Amino acid sequence: MSPHVSARRFLRPSLVLAALLAAAGLPLAGSPVAGQPAAGEPAAQARGEVNVYTYREAKLVEPLFSAFTAETGIKVNTLSANRGLEQRIAAEGASSPADVLLTVDIGRLKDAIDAGIAQPIRSKTLDEVVPAAFRDPDGLWYAISARARVVYASKERVEQDEITYEGLADPKWKGRICIRSGQHIYNNALFAAFIAHHGEAKTEEWLKGLKANLAQKPSGGDREVARDIAAGKCDIGLGNTYYWALMHERDPAKKAWAEATEVILPTFEGGGTHMNVSGVVLTKHAPNQANAVRLIEWLMSDTAQRIYADINYEYPIRTGTTINPVIASYGELRADTVSLVTIAEHKKAAATLVDKVGFDD
């Protein structure tokens, strides 16, 4: 194994992981797999490994890769980082140990393509399972889960349960909105989607209106938006679906922030709720290409989709996979139909408009 990639250490599984694997009919990592040699036997080692570079936190992908190893005998080595993985893979060149890049947001998927580190994934399985809107037309990336950019609203001070993205610029919200930086990739993608719907001129005017409604300078992250709503600093804000669920279900210190708010699924006028994705790229010089493709295909199995959706509180990509109850409680999702590829094409323009209107100032 390359020194650039650290092997996962199977610590004592959490109760959540144990329950998920048991529900999926899979053994815990480190336990014998039916029909396969016990851990440590040469035949199991011969199945090889696969190296994954990821922007996801280790705790968010560990259950997934544990299940894959248990089912296939293929060891998954991971390297996690907050930034710069595309550049690292490019710099490593043909000697890069990376087989798969697991990343978040269409912007980072586009960065990987633009950096020249991806190769097409030739898989009939993936093409049959992943809807066209959630994959690159040339097979350079595939989504494995989806998230929505939604409104967090004060339960005490906001009565309406429907809102449009366009409506965020309505003067009635003046001094009542909190948001993270307009240049953050999550907001950049939403603003790019707005351009896809309305064009740059109308998006500029909308951004001016949204800025005029802010209660404070853009700051923090999505969790801090909920915090500030709970503290009464603002009444509504933008956040991703999974952050609210993680606060409510997994973070006792922030549970009160979630309980003070509710999630509203906004839509574009004449469209749906803005979606983004977690996705995978097969690297250009993948040293374990066959195992990498096998992992990517496995990630679209019903088993993997259920585990990933439950652990990360995201929407599954595979049709028919059960949505986590917390996410389902937000209401019926009507996803926007603007493709992620189109959104990616407008990201630079969106960033330019954010600077032009002084959104973050």
User: Which residues have C-beta within 8 Å of that of residue 242, sequence separation ≥ 6?
Assistant: 147, 312, 313, 314, 327
What is the per-residue pLDDT for 56?
A: 85
Residue 309's closest CA among 337, 294, 328?
Answer: 328
Q: Is residue 260 part of a domain?
A: yes
Looking at the fold, whether 226 and 315 belong to one and the same domain comes out as no
Residue 347's closest CA among 195, 150, 143?
Answer: 195
Q: Is residue 164 part of a domain?
A: yes
Looking at the fold, whether 41 and 126 belong to one and the same domain comes out as yes
Q: Is residue 178 part of a domain?
A: yes
Domain boundaries, position 184: 147-274+331-356
User: Which residues have C-beta within 8 Å of that of residue 147, sequence separation ≥ 6?
Assistant: 240, 241, 242, 275, 276, 277, 278, 314, 315
Looking at the fold, whether 62 and 74 belong to one and the same domain comes out as yes
Q: Is residue 170 part of a domain?
A: yes
Contact 220, 229 (CB under 8 A): no
Looking at the fold, whether 230 and 306 belong to one and the same domain comes out as no
pLDDT digits (tens, 9 = 90+) for 307-351: 988 989 999 999 999 999 999 999 999 999 999 999 999 999 999
What is the per-residue pLDDT for 60?
A: 79
What is the per-residue pLDDT for 46?
A: 35
Contact 235, 157 (CB under 8 A): yes
Give the chain's end-to-end CA distance (angstroms, integer).
47
Looking at the fold, whether 280 and 346 belong to one and the same domain comes out as no
Looking at the fold, whether 116 and 264 belong to one and the same domain comes out as no
The C-alpha angle 288, 33, 58, rounded to 5 degrees, equals 55
| CATH code for the domain of 192 | 3.40.190.10
User: What is the C-alpha to C-alpha distance for residues 285 and 293, in angstroms, rounded to an integer?
Assistant: 13
CA distances from 273 to 138, 140, 158, 256, 270 (A): 25, 25, 20, 26, 10
Looking at the fold, whether 100 and 170 belong to one and the same domain comes out as no
Looking at the fold, whether 263 and 340 belong to one and the same domain comes out as yes
What is the per-residue pLDDT for 11?
A: 29
What is the per-residue pLDDT for 31?
A: 32
294 token code pair: 């096998």
Q: Is residue 361 part of a domain?
A: no
DSSP string, 179-202: ---TTSHHHHHHHHHHHHHHHHHH
Looking at the fold, whether 151 and 200 belong to one and the same domain comes out as yes
What is the per-residue pLDDT for 5?
A: 38
Tell me the sheet residues that pair with 75: 49
Looking at the fold, whether 44 and 92 belong to one and the same domain comes out as yes
pTM: 0.84
Q: Is residue 1 part of a domain?
A: no
What is the per-residue pLDDT for 47?
A: 73
H-only helix segments in 73-153: 85-92, 106-114, 124-129
Looking at the fold, whether 177 and 127 belong to one and the same domain comes out as no
User: How many domains are contained in the chain?
Assistant: 2
Looking at the fold, whether 95 and 74 belong to one and the same domain comes out as yes
pLDDT beneath 70: ranges in the chain: 1-46
Helix axes of 15-23 and 58-72: crossing angle, nearest 10 degrees: 40
Q: Residue written as tokens 């300078």?
A: 217
